[in-house]
Amino acid sequence: MSEPLRTLLFLVVFVCIVSQVPVTQAAEPDWNYSQPDGEIGGLAVSPKGDLIVAGAGKVLFFARDGTLLAQEPFGSDVRMTADGKYTASIYSSSIYSFENPLPAGSPDQQKAKKLWDYELSEQISAFDMNRDGSLIAGQTPLGNLFVLNTRTRVAGGNTRVSDSVIKISGGAIIGVSAGEIHTYSVSGNLSRTEDITANSAPRFLVIPSGSSVVFSDGQAIRRVNTYNGTERWKQQVSGAVSALSITPGGSLIAAGTEKGNIAGFDKNGNLSWTYSSNPENRQSAGITCSAVSDTGETVAAGTADGKILFLDSRGNLTGSYAAREYIRHIAVSADGSVVAAASDEELYVFSPGLSPSVPVAAPSRTLTGTPVRNTTPLPAQTLTAAPSLQASATATLTELPAASVIRTATQTPFALVTLLVSIVLSVLIIGRKK
């Protein structure tokens, strides 16, 4: 073999080998925001990433560059509609609705507008909102259900059944307990109960379609039919499930564990990839939260030891950041261009896969204030056995979208074959040179 041909073949083989190694980089936040005297309780990002919202006592609205556009009372957790136009927050026993500011609009358009608030008769411990914002459902500390029609602002409740977790998708309100799955009407009435197999009370629940749900069960995730409780599939993961996220339609389901692993499954329960952020198996380094973009091309996760991780749809680590604080919340824009993560007191915003922009100096702020309502509160509803709604659930709101670590993501058989062939060819070429 001639020298030029051997050199060319060697370069081809070298490129093949290098192409199998995932490219990772240390990520730096585009900007961060400190809140030492408060606690960040939830995050939401608009579909294109031009608006970031945090619930931290007040509802904080940030432009993409880190400009604080507005602070509105009140919010400990937040949800945004799929079109990015509206945000709902909860605080104590109240629900608040805001029209979002337009970051690229006029000075008046860059202000948030409070639309209404609603006070329940009990504390709110968790809530969810459907994509178009027409329904809000949640739980009280005792596990009781409440449902609010956001157009009529009439609330229903259900104290007869207790669920460990409740989610809403479209007009489907689903709750699961250790042995049952419950389907509720938009008025809070229990419309269906089916027995399911579960070894523990589920902590996490996602809804890929109206006919099925996926929930955590200790060290497993299960997908069951909501109409008859039949299990479609079950998959074990390495460690207790500590985070669960899904793309619209369920093409990618990402499950994080307390051991620091993330597993990616397709809608049929097939394991697509795995990733380990904690190969040393250290204590208190598990996955605490996760989020995925609508296409699944961006997967983000936070850990108990302060890492913020960015993966692609194949489970390759594309970047990471060491915050050294317990990461409690993470959110990804629908297009995957922006990731927001938060500890108790610090908010970090990234552009994953892009070169970090110049950091924006975000001032630290102390959030204080006394709850003062700008509108007359509607009558409080007692959570009784599900009163009927006074109107159908149509809405005034428009659509809710929906540091360095060792990667152990599985490679495809094709990738492994290519890698092995490349190594063999390299050995042969070197041997011929000798």
Write the single-letter amino acid at 361: A
Structure tokens at 431: 């041997």
Domains of the chain with bracketed CATH: 39-282+367-433 (2.130.10.10)
This prediction's pTM? 0.79
CB 342 within 8 A of CB 362: no
Provide the CA 140 distance to its chain's centre, in angstroms.
21
Structure tokens at 335: 């297009």
Write the single-letter amino acid at 418: T
Instruction: Give the pLDDT of residue 398.
Output: 29
pLDDT digits (tens, 9 = 90+) for 314-334: 999 999 999 989 999 999 999
Instruction: Give the pLDDT of residue 6.
Output: 56
Percent of the chain clearing pLDDT 70 (strictly above): 75
Find tokens 């990461």 and name the residue: 327
pLDDT digits (tens, 9 = 90+) for 259-284: 999 999 999 999 999 999 999 999 99
Q: Which among 228, 222, 147 has a CA at the least distance from the CA of 193?
A: 228
**Dist. CA 53–CA 142, nearest whole Å:** 28
Q: Is the pLDDT of residue 219 over 50?
A: yes
How far is the CA of 105 from the CAs of 63, 98, 100, 305, in angstroms?
Answer: 11, 17, 11, 39
Residue 283 exposed, middle or buried by CB count within 10 Å (0-12, 13-18, 19+): exposed
Q: Is the pLDDT of residue 387 over 50?
A: no
- What is the pLDDT confidence band of residue 248, given thresholds at 50, 70 and 90? very high
Instruction: Give the pLDDT of residue 354.
Output: 53
Q: Is the pLDDT of residue 63 over 80?
A: yes
Provide the CA 349 distance to its chain's centre, in angstroms.
15
Contact partners, residue 222, CB within 8 Å, separation at least 6 = 196, 197, 198, 214, 215, 231, 233, 234
Structure tokens at 386: 């599900």
Write the single-letter amino acid at 385: A
Q: Which among 223, 219, 276, 279 has a CA at the least distance from the CA of 246?
A: 223
For residue 74, whether the previous peptide bond is cis, meaning omega lies within 30 degrees of 0, is yes
CB 368 within 8 A of CB 81: no
- Whether the CA torsion 224, 229, 230, 231 is positive or negative: it is positive
Helix (H, G, I), strand (E, B) or coil at 146: strand
Instruction: Give the pLDDT of residue 27.
Output: 84
